A and B are shown apart, each in its own frame.
Chain A
Amino acid sequence: MKEMIKITLSLVAIFIAAGIIMGVTYKYTSPVRFIAEKKEKEEALKQMAPDATDPIIPAGTWSSSHGKPYEYYRATSQGKPVAYISSTAGKGYSSFIAMLVSLDPDLKIREVKILHHGETPGLGDQVEDRTLFLDQFKGKALSQLILLKTETKENIQAISGATISSRAVTNGVKDAVQTLVDTYGSGIKSAAQGVAP
């Protein structure tokens, strides 16, 4: 009985000490991290539409099929739209893959950027590889966003060994493009290749 208490106490002491160390570290690092992440997001937004001269401000919100809210933006240069941007995410193998998607005014994909994810290093994280995967999205329209396991130029080709992560990115991009097409597509239906209703 006495030993049981001793063991419990020694474990509790270690846990409390560890908890305090982690808590203090979190307290001092989280504000720095928060500011850095916010700045990175703003810079990423700017990179999505470098030709926009006006500040990019949120134009609205939408919620994805997995129920999370995302923002979309209308990047303009002297009042004229140069790109439509949306944040989005797809559910991958071990995490949500957070992304930004930008469309040209004719609703073709201009750029896809992965902000952060927690996929398996060496397998799932290959979706970040531009030449291997991500650049495939450039210039694609909504109707072309289909993931295939075979070689394709018309659609999106999955990475072998990372199909789930590839699908997550494709679905996330598709959600965002769908939203942007629904929102901004009314005036330019023909460009959306018959997908817009």
Chain B
Amino acid sequence: MSNVNYGTIIKNGIFGENPVFRLALSLCPAVAVTSGVKNGFLMGVAVLFVMTMVNATVSLLRKFINPKVRIPSYMFIIATWVTVTDLVMAAYARDVYKQMGLYIMLIVAFAIVLSRAEMFASKNKLLPSIVDGAAMGMGFLLALVLLGIFREFLGKGSLWGYQILVSDGKAIKPLLIMILPTGGFFAMGLMMGWLNWIDRKFFGGSGGGGGAHH
């Protein structure tokens, strides 16, 4: 690929191939952490960082990795970056680590990180790979924040921990199911359908979210 269109890569990562709503990858962590906006945001930031670093490393090493054992190699690169991030943050960014520490180790098992290493970084030069990792991470982050807003507002009546739905000075009783995993799938399905509708209605796309890209 000599002519790389960075705009397309970025648009792809955030909308066209949004990891959660379009590729339907990493749904398990997406459901688990989006019971609040803050959780979703922190997880998104951690993924954004790890994906950028993994894509860069895989792209640099793409000529040295034996194609027959590429998956274990990618896994190890991912695990290394996640561990290094975890160790460095635990030592030098204690306050952030207390907030995000729980999420970091989960990233090793994210399908989206591995899939971008396999589908993009192993075939492209360094800079496009970095942009792709960052764009995909950004798409993931935005998806988690959207889900988080939806679920926290309905499930807890708050946003980012601040109570919004109040009656008589007391928090109202919210829809508890929305912050349970069940509600996560409801929210995700509605969101996917909504985005597909937008795609069909305004962009003339086929609206093939959630399965068409497998």
As a 0/1 sequence over residues 174 to 213 of chain B, the CB contacts with chain A under 8 angstroms (1 = contact) are 0010011000000000000000000000000000000000
Question: Which residue of B is nearest A122, CB measured?
Answer: B35
Q: Could you tell me if B33 and A122 are in contact, using CB atoms closer than 8 angstroms? A: yes
Of B8-16, B80-88, B116-124, B134-142, the one touching chain A: B80-88
Return chain A residues, CB-CB under 8 Å to B176.
160
Q: Could you tell me if A121 and B43 are in contact, using CB atoms closer than 8 angstroms? A: yes
Residue A125 lies at the interface, judged by CB distance under 8 Å to chain B: yes
Interface residues of A in 69-125 (CB under 8 A from B): 116, 118-123, 125
Return chain A residues, CB-CB under 8 Å to B84.
21-22, 25
Given the interface contacts A11-B69, A123-B35, does A161 sit within 8 Å of B91 by beta carbon?
Answer: no
Question: Which residue of A is nearest B98, CB measured?
Answer: A116
Q: Could you tell me if B77 and A18 are in contact, using CB atoms closer than 8 angstroms? A: yes
Residue B34 lies at the interface, judged by CB distance under 8 Å to chain A: yes
Return chain B residues, CB-CB under 8 Å to A29.
87-88, 90-92
Residue B79 lies at the interface, judged by CB distance under 8 Å to chain A: yes
Residue A149 lies at the interface, judged by CB distance under 8 Å to chain B: no
Shortest CB distance B100–A (Å): 9
Return chain A residues, CB-CB under 8 Å to B88.
25, 29
Shortest CB distance B199–A (Å): 29
How far does the alpha carbon of A15 sit from the alpha carbon of B64 in the complex, in Å? 14
How far does the alpha carbon of A22 sit from the alpha carbon of B32 in the complex, in Å? 28
Residue A193 lies at the interface, judged by CB distance under 8 Å to chain B: no
Residue A10 lies at the interface, judged by CB distance under 8 Å to chain B: yes
Interface size for B (C-beta < 8 A) is: 33
Question: Which residue of B is nearest A3, CB measured?
Answer: B68
Q: Could you tell me if B90 and A161 are in contact, using CB atoms closer than 8 angstroms? A: no
Residue A1 lies at the interface, judged by CB distance under 8 Å to chain B: no
Return chain B residues, CB-CB under 8 Å to A21.
80, 84
Q: Could you tell me if B91 and A30 are in contact, using CB atoms closer than 8 angstroms? A: yes
How far does the alpha carbon of A157 sit from the alpha carbon of B60 in the complex, in Å? 53
How far does the alpha carbon of A87 sit from the alpha carbon of B153 in the complex, in Å? 36
Interface residues of B in 59-79 (CB under 8 A from A): 64-66, 68-69, 72-73, 76-77, 79
Of A32-40, A53-61, A173-181, the one touching chain B: A32-40
Q: Could you tell me if B91 and A14 are in contact, using CB atoms closer than 8 angstroms? A: no
Return chain A residues, CB-CB under 8 Å to B94.
36, 40
Most chain A CB atoms below 10 A, which of B66, B106, B179, B180: B66
| 26 A-B residue pairs with CB within 8 Å | A6-B66, A7-B69, A10-B65, A10-B73, A11-B69, A11-B72, A18-B77, A18-B80, A21-B80, A22-B87, A25-B88, A26-B87, A29-B91, A30-B87, A33-B87, A33-B91, A36-B94, A116-B98, A121-B32, A121-B33, A121-B102, A122-B32, A122-B34, A122-B35, A125-B102, A160-B176
B interface with A by C-beta (< 8 Å): 32-36, 39, 43, 64-66, 68-69, 72-73, 76-77, 79-80, 83-84, 87-88, 90-92, 94, 98, 102-103, 106, 176, 179-180
Known: A18-B80, A32-B92; 5 extra A-B contacts, CB below 8 A, are A10-B65, A14-B77, A29-B92, A121-B39, A160-B176
